[in-house]
Amino acid sequence: MTDTIRVLITDDHPVFRQGLKGLLQALGVDVVGEAENGPDAVRLAAELQPDVVVMDLHMPGGNGIEATRTITRTSPRIGVLVLTMFRDDDSVFAAMRAGARGYLLKESGAEEIARAVRAVAAGEAIYGPEIARRVLTYFTDMPDPKRAAFPELTDREREVLGLIAQGRSNPEIAATLFLSQKTVRNHVSNIFMKLHVADRAQAIVVAREAGLGESTRH
């Protein structure tokens, strides 16, 4: 970026603010303001319209999550970079849901912080290595909600149920899965028994409530 990046620093520790300010200024970043709590950050962000707000999360007088949510809602062009000591999942995902574009730990090096400020100013999302691993692990370990909804079904029965939820008839299911109609009837019967439903209509309702059958027929 050729234009100078304008940054608002939000942290309740004056010594940390001054250290971060000196670091950023040495790298050519224009620190346009400082706030010591969430409400001050919201007010100064609206007034100064910085490119980036560097935001601590837990501060007396107003937390950074609510401030982030307000800033990103009222001034979408402003990017929020969380810089905090908190590495727990609740803090990370609360910040992401509030609209933060980046999340770094305060132990991050100067180059990493500077790179994150530039990235957020450019509209990118950036996370420190440990935070990125936590996010990846979270989504990798998430169970398939469709599988979790019907643990009593086999993979094939779940596949058949998905087609039932799309409104497919037994012959259509047989053709789609390259099965005999008798095999499909057996699967359907097992599904009804395991899900304790009386008929196809009830099975469709149960399946769609669990997210199956989202594909529509043409």
- On average, the pLDDT of the chain sits at 88
Closest to 134 in 3D by CA, of 86, 101, 100, 69: 86
Give percent of the chain with pLDDT exceeding 70.
91
122-144: pLDDT as tens digits: 999 888 877 877 777 766 665 55
pTM check: above 0.85: no
- The residue behind tokens 């905090």 is 84
Give percent of the chain with pLDDT exceeding 90.
62
User: Where does 110-169 have alpha helices with state H?
Assistant: 110-121, 129-141, 145-149, 155-165
Q: How far is residue 209's CA from residue 83's CA, in Å, rounded to a whole number?
A: 40
Domains, the chain, in order of start with CATH, read: 6-141 (3.40.50.2300), 145-210 (1.10.10.10)
